[in-house]
Amino acid sequence: MEQSSSDSSWLRRVGRALKSFVLGGGSEPQSCAPLASNALALDRTIMAAERTLMAWVRTAISLISFGFTIFKFMQTMASAEKLQKFGLGDVRTLGMTMIGIGMVALVIAIIQHIGHMKRLGIHDRKHLYSLSVVFAGAFWLVGALAFVLVATD
C-alpha cells in the first residue's frame, strides 16, 4: 500500500512539473491552463476559417479557368471551321457565366471570412487580411481580366 501512494505522489509531482514546463513555468499553472486552452482553440478556429477560404478560392479558380478555357477552345475550333453549327455567342455566354460565378464566389468567401474573424473578436489586420485573403483578391482580379477578355473577344 505504501508503495502505491508514493508512486501516485511521484506521478503527481511529475505531472505538475510537465504542466509547468508546457505552460511556461507560471507560479499558478491551474489558472494558466484555461487561457492556454482558449488561445489554442482560437488558433484552431482561425486556421479552419483559413482552410475554408482557401477551399473557396480553389473552387473559384477552377470555375474561372474552366470558363475561360471552354471559350478559347471553342473559339479556336470555330476559327478552324471544325465547328459550324455551334454558335460562338452561346459559348461566350457559357464562359462568362462560369467566370462570373467564380468571381461572385470569391467575393462571398472573402466577406464570409472577414465576418467570421470579426465574430471571433479578431480585429487586427494580420488575421482579417491574411495571405489567403490577399490571394483571393488577386485571383478575383485575374477573374475580372478573364471576364473582360471573353466579353470583348
Yes or no: say if 146 and 99 are a contact pair by the CB < 8 Å rule. Answer: yes
pLDDT tens profile 102-125: 999 999 999 999 999 888 888 777
Q: What is the mean pLDDT of residues 136-145?
A: 96
Q: 1: pLDDT confidence band, cut at 50, 70 and 90?
A: very low
Q: 41: pLDDT confidence band, cut at 50, 70 and 90?
A: confident
In whole angstroms, what is the distance from residue 59 CA to residue 49 CA?
Answer: 15
- Cell numbers representing residue 52 in the block: 475554408
What is the reported pLDDT for 6?
Answer: 61
In whole angstroms, what is the distance from residue 150 CA to residue 55 CA?
Answer: 25
